[in-house]
Amino acid sequence: MAWREGTLTRAKELEALAAWVRSKNSCKHDEILETAIGRHLQAARDAATVKPLNPRRRLRIFRNGPLMERASSNLDAAEAHILNVAPADYVLGQLPCLLRHVQCHLPAADPGRQEFERIVRSVGISRPDRPAARTRTKQEREDELQDRRQTVDDERGKIVTAVRAASSAALREHVRLRSFRNVVVVTAVLMALLAIGVALTGFFRPTLIPLCFAPEESGTATVVCPTGQSDRFIPSQEGGQPRDGVPVKDIDDMVAATVEPQDLIVVELIGLAAAAIATAAAIRRIRGSSERYGLPVALAALKLPTGAVTAFLGLLLMRGQFVPGLSALDTSAQILAWALVFGYAQQLFTRLVDQQGQTVLDSVRAPDATRPATSAA
């Protein structure tokens, strides 16, 4: 997968950076951090290469998400250790990028972010009113650079703490995203199992839940099912007598003779097709995301079984005369047309889930994500 390749690349980059830092700084007190950097990078590689668990576990459902988070957290820890031992010049060069990282994942009222922004301002970054370098002498520039190095050395602990807090906040955002994705996937699976159960029930027991209607006209009735309809008859429940060759029959008997095992399957397939059309139409509103949890795919997959179930339930409500004036459909084509309508109507329910999914994606404030607008004070 792409995240594994990215993890291995980043681990190699940090390994080379740690070696460079070690060559610039030979302080013996940093040996502990250097050892920790190596262990974190190895843990990230183990996650990327899916190293077998120790002890082994038989059930490893949804292991991909935890592996991604393990790799990310170890890379973040290694980077924080590098900032602890890196030369001041390196930290100065990284401050603009670190500032963006902190501002993306920590709220404006966070004390750590406020302190980090103060440090950044004190070393002259994000100050457009600073005088141009060519208007100052070489000695002035060297003095200023030395002051900035000293500030970084003095405030290094606060810098690393703020960056690590931002990385931890980013990881929590990804955990929330994965949790929401898992809920959507489980719901989609349960809806699919429900749709399959309904279809199997209709196939083996077609008379248990028949989606048939009996429109009456001039004292006669016709049983209309999704895949067929009966001849006209006079309902025996109304005490009618045979006339003009029209027999008197019990409605339940006629329903049992007309209903087919494939009726519910056809209805659900029509609802699923309508949901597929709704899914295709919803793609135009998907902005996409660089997150690798596949939430948009899970949201799209949820619509398909939901459309099949809503087509069945909608026709069931109509058969129970829940909708006045729509309790006696005249032809099989009308039944299938309403199944199409109810299948597409799943959008009324899943639209709210889509909105919540986009909100969760927006909360992962990556550089390519759209941040929610904030009202002016």
SS3 214: coil
Residue 33 has a pLDDT of 84
Q: What span, in angstroms and rounded, lies between the C-alpha atoms of 319 and 102?
A: 58
pLDDT of residue 192: 94
Tens digit of each residue's pLDDT (9 = 90 or more) over 265-323: 999 999 999 999 988 887 776 655 555 667 888 888 899 999 999 999 999 888 887 76
| Residue 224, SS3 per DSSP | strand
pLDDT of residue 375: 36
Given a contact cutoff of 8 angstroms between Cβ atoms, the answer to whether 296 and 305 are in contact is: no
What is the per-residue pLDDT across 8-33, written as a single tens digit (0 to 9) for each? 899 999 999 988 888 877 665 678 88
Enumerate residue ranges in the chain where pLDDT < 70. Answer: 1, 26-29, 53-63, 126-136, 237-242, 244, 285-293, 323-328, 365-377
3-state helix, strand, coil in the chain (%, to 5): 65, 5, 30
> What's the confidence (pLDDT) of residue 377?
29
Please name the amino acid found at residue 314.
G
Tell me which amino acid residue 359 is: T
pLDDT score for 125: 78
Which of 36, 98, 104, 41 minimizes the C-alpha distance to 70? 41
Give residue 366's pLDDT: 46
Q: 243 pairs with which residues across the strands?
A: 246
Cα–Cα distances (Å) from 134 to 123, 125, 131, 138, 300, in that order, read 18, 17, 8, 9, 57
What's the whole-model pTM score? Answer: 0.76
pLDDT at 235: 81
Q: Which residues lie below 8 Å from residue 297, measured CB to CB, with a gap of 6+? A: none
